[in-house]
Structures are given as C-alpha cells and as structure tokens.
Structure 1
C-alpha cells in the first residue's frame, strides 16, 4: 500500500513537470534551423512621395510678343506703257450750284491700279462737302468714257507723268503731279506713297486731287498765311507745309475758303 502511494506521487510529479513544459513551449516560439530571426522594427524609412512644397519645374520663357509688321510699301513702276484704261462708269452730280464740270477718269496700264478704283477715289474727293463744291460756283459729275467731258483725271507712272506734263510746259522730275489744259495728271508715286507730313495717305490723295483740279478751275499757287494755320489747298503741300498745318480741303469747315498770299513766280 505504501509503495502504491509512492508510485502515484511520483507519476503526479512527472505529469506536473510536463504540463509546465508544454505551457512554456506555447508561449515562446522556437527558431527553425537555418532561419534568421526578424530584426527589430526601426524608425520609418524616409518618404519617397513628393514633398508638400515641390521644387518648381523649369520655367518656360513666355513666347515673345509678335513684333507688328510694317505695312508693305507698294512697288511703284517707274514707267508704264503710256496707254490708259478709262473708267466705264459715271456718278451722280456732286454739288447743286454753279458751273457743271463733267469729267472722265483713266489709269495707266501697268500702274497696278484699277481704273474703276481710281475713279471712285476721285469721285469721293470731289463730292465731299469740303471740296470745291462748297463755294457754290462749281459742281462735278463723273461720266463714262466716250461721253462729252471737260476734264480728264489721269493716274500715270512717274515716267509717263514727266512726258505728259512736259508737253504742257510743266517739269515734274518723276516726283510730282501737274495740270495742263483739260488734263490733270496725278503721279502714281505720290498717289501710292504720299509724303511724310501727311501720315494718312487718304488725306494726301484728297489734297492732290483738290490741288490739281483747283488749277483747272483757274486757281494759282499760294503760300502759308501764318504759322499754325491750315495750309491752303493751293499751297505746294507736296514740297512742305511752310509752318502751316496739313489740310486737304479748299473749305475745311464746309463754308470758309482757306487761302494765302500768292506764291512768288
């Protein structure tokens, strides 16, 4: 009986030791042969995502503003063939009083200017209320080629202008226009290029038509009356203003004729 109790006690002790061993085995993992234990966690690796304030990307220089191109300067032929194309259209009478002047319009072949285009420009000038019609002594009507007329307004190349004007006793040297008898000859060079003191070419064109038609009407050259005054349309404005202000019209306000002392001969 005593031996049996001793055996039971010994068996109970062995079981207790096994239970404790199993408990500790579950709590502590053992390393597998040949493996490497995981390293302890360290501080986080530096972030590779973009920073909150990214460095600026290389700047792209703005494209330079386009430089305005200057208007193309018309090429003026030195001489045409001396033949003219006449306008085949007419127009309403400009002005209601005074002598009626019927006129035709022609552009030299090879000038690069259409006869009808030139005819409209001449008509606009002579029909303007500041032109010669404002004086009440003359009116104008453009008529088609072939109809009776008292005046022909030509647009001619510089060489042809010289030839035509020389026959009428006027030297133009390829630079200016003239009037002779029943003909007004507008120099293509001046029509296309104007002069520096007339910034607007359209104003110069009005002036030169009024000036040469003024000669046809019997008006001679005059000079600037005083500094700063409007230049008389019969002054030689193609050569300069003599201290006056540019003015393309005989009656710039539609009522008052602007003139000055007669030019020395």
Structure 2
C-alpha cells in the first residue's frame, strides 16, 4: 500500500531538510536583525551596503547567481521553529554564475530558505526569480547547499554583482589587506616647530602581517593620514578609498577608542595627542555602514 502523500514528501526532503534546519537553528543568533526589511528581498529590492556584502562574501564557501526553477512551501512539521511573519521554502534553482567556489557547483542546486510574508500575510512568488546566494556545501551532496545566514538570498542586481566581484578580486589578490584584530603600540613625535607632529599606530592582524596608521600634522594644514601595509611607511602609503577592502578592514574592525595599553609608555601629553590623531582617522574613515549585524 503506498505511503500517504505527506510521508512521501517528508522522505523526499531527507537529509537536506534535516541538515539545513540544524544549521539554520545554529546560525540564527549569529546575525541579528536590527531593522527591517527582512532577510530575503523578494518584495522590493533592498540596497545592501558594501560592508554587508563583504561580511557575507568573505565568510561563504559559495557565491552563486541562480534562477529559481521550483519553490515548494514547507508547513507544519516540515517547518519547525519558523518565525512569525515568515514562510519556509524548499528551493530548486538553476546555477547561472559562480562568483566564488573551489571545485565548481552543480548546474541545479537545492536549498531551504525562510522568506518574509507581505502585509497581507502572503508569501512572495519565487519561481523564475533571480538571486545571488551565499552558501556552504553540504558534505557528500554536491547538488545541495546551505545558506550561511538569514541574509544569504539576495535579489540579483547588476550593482550587487559588480560590488561582489570587486570585493572578491581584492580579497584574492596577493596584496589583499589582512584582517584587523586590534591595536598594538602607538608612538608620537613632536615636530621642530609648534603644531607639527607625527603619530604612528600599529595594528594587530589575524596573520601577523604588519599594518600601521600614520598621522602627520603641520601648522595651518589639515592632518594627513595614511595606512602602510608593511614594516616601513613610505611615499606610497595613502588613506584608503571608501568601499574598498582596506577601508572595510579598518572602518568595520577598528575599535571605537584607542586602548590604554597602546599609549601606556607615552607621556600624558603624547598619549592625548595620539588619541586625538586616532579619532581623526576614525572620522575620516566614516561609519562602517552595516545594516545587518555580524
């Protein structure tokens, strides 16, 4: 006697459903939702910031452009722990491009995603929609992927694709800036004339590569600052342009205040001068611009 339709459906989802639901539950606290709109942008395209896209892109094994072939809504037992105002779908999609992913990606992939309901409580139409996905592989299942966060299915736009390509190009270059993890020692040298000085602030990085900030002040001029990706500060050192990988590494990862230990060896006046120079750097960098929390 054939199994009831509901049981056949549950069997069909198999390990894809189980694997994704466990992963979604584990990942949920990692990214908060400080402001609307919701994770997937099917009811109106949201402009994610450079920092948002960099956060997503640099932590995903796979970044792919897909077109949805089939979207099957999961309800009841097939959608446990579903947040209010959301609908859960099992998606089958055709891979159109692969921006990141060693060893390639299958032409057709499956994944699970939660999407926001509209004001009338209706789910968006997903079939034939184009998305950019940030995902990890499912071990031993090349046609199944797992989205990395609630924000990992974005509406495709040319702007989003171009920004991601720029981020990934910089990130894979030999000259890619390291991940900033904190601040080391800082130094300050007064100049020969009043109002002239130079501060140097050394940063700590995930791979111990050297990176430092230098701030030069001259009377009657705006302070000049630069970042050096090496042991020495030379004429090639410049302040980074906004929405570049180096800018992101600084604007989004530097602490809001200079740690006391960084100026512990300085006099009180030199320490205050360094703190003022550090504040100037943060002001020049501007806000990180995240709209989703890491």
TM-score, length-normalised on structure 2? 0.23
Larger C-alpha radius of gyration, 1 or 2? 1
* Structure number with higher strand proportion: 2
